[in-house]
Structure 1
Amino acid sequence: MSAKRLLMICGDFVEDYETMVPFQALQAVGHRVDAVCPDKRAGDSVATAIHDFEGDQTYTEKPGHRFALNASFDDIAVNDYDGLVIPGGRAPEYLRLDPRVIEIVRHFFSVEKPVAAICHGAQLLAAARVLGGRTCAAYPACRPEVELAGGEYADIPVDKAVTEGNLVSAPAWPAHPEWIAQYLALLGTRISHA
């Protein structure tokens, strides 16, 4: 396997697990992950939020960690990346208002490079208008965005993921084992056990 260079788009109050777990897991298998945020540079951090499922009508939210960015948004060149990772949480609701973020998301779909989106990450996909005719899993409250963007909402359990074409998506962080495994398969990553 050759190591891939991956771009992760973050923002304040991105979901903690959906950022830190894939960031570390993808690096653990040898990939380089550049985590960026508009208007921030390498060494800056974003606030994260921990979303949990505790029997209420929707998730609960608690303060997470500070997540240190390791690359500068203004310095990225999208052609240098082999794939894109879009975590969920509250960040996608305002990141989708940034024209450069939308341009970046569209780029990965136009050249059919692997994209992993989870939870509210579907809000970015919908805003970028890349879901037409595509199946996409997301947090259930994002179903209207997926469908209004012309996508088919994947009504799957919260611990499952779905791959269609260059997109792997999942409802929330309990799907990490499937979501990350399916993304690694899209990247061509092979892991063997002795």
Structure 2
Amino acid sequence: MASLLLIAGDFVEDYEIMVPFQALQAMGHRVDAVCPDKREGDRIRTAIHDFEGDQTYTEKPGHDFILNATFAEMALDDYDGLVIPGGRAPEYLRLDERVLELVRHFFDHDKPVAAICHGAQLLAAAVSLDGWRVSAYPACAPEVHLAGGDFVEIAVDQAIVSGKLVTAPAWPAHPAWLARFHELL
């Protein structure tokens, strides 16, 4: 099975880190969850985003997530794929050049990448999305367009594959998103 890197930070969406982290391991993959400036055993805080009929999602405190690897000690060549959860973390992770280099590595080496929800913010900051079909939380559509990508509106429980990239709008898409990513691996 594959060795996967999951990049996250404080206030990552709770379901979008917990579910992929556990489900991909249950499928037999090794998943190393890292955060810049944090070490194995450190905690990151999560937020639960829910869809309750308002104009946008609501946000509630989530669980603490314990990292199982150290950002500064990872060797990118050891990983077969990248997982980018959403939430608020991509908003500030995209300001870290080391994170952008990490994302570029997976694109440059044609390795599978799975991004969900606001994870598209990190994609758009790191690489040109010209020629890529990308889904994300609808509020990320302008960033996908500005990065040259083709933003694809799909149902919240669906995922889209474009080359080695699989994206989805939000956590209700986990079954489709994770299945498509597993197929790419």
What is the SS of the residue equivalent to 2:118? helix
Query: In 2, are the aligned partners of 1:10 and 1:91 still within 8 Å (CA)?
Result: yes
Percent identity of paired positions between Structure 1 and Structure 2: 72
Once the 2 structures are TM-superposed, how far is the Cα of residue 130 of structure 1 from its aligned partner?
3.4
Q: Which residue of 1 aligns with 2:174?
A: 176
Aligned match of 1:32 in 26, 30, 33?
30
How is 1:1-194 mapped onto 2 (pairs within 5 angstroms)? Answer: 3-187=1-185
**Partners of 1:130 and 1:30 in 2: CA distance:** 32
Q: Which runs of 4+ in 1 moved over 3 A?
A: none
Q: Give the number of equivalent residue pairs.
A: 185
**Partners of 1:40 and 1:93 in 2: CA distance:** 18
What is the SS of the residue equivalent to 1:163? strand
Structure-1-length-normalised TM-score: 0.95
C-alpha deviations, 1:76-96, integer Å up to 9, x for none? 111110000000000000000
Once the 2 structures are TM-superposed, how far is the Cα of residue 29 of structure 1 from its aligned partner?
1.1
Aligned CA-pair RMSD: 0.5
Once the 2 structures are TM-superposed, how far is the Cα of residue 132 of structure 1 from its aligned partner?
1.5
Question: What letter matches 2:35 in structure 1?
Answer: C
Question: What letter matches 2:180 in structure 1?
Answer: Q
Query: In 2, are the aligned partners of 1:106 and 1:130 still within 8 Å (CA)?
Result: no
Gaps of 5+ in 2: none
Q: Which residue of 2 aligns with 1:190?
A: none
Query: In 2, are the aligned partners of 1:119 and 1:139 still within 8 Å (CA)?
Result: yes
Gaps of 5+ in 1: 188-194
Once the 2 structures are TM-superposed, how far is the Cα of residue 172 of structure 1 from its aligned partner?
0.1
Question: What letter matches 1:176 in structure 2?
Answer: H
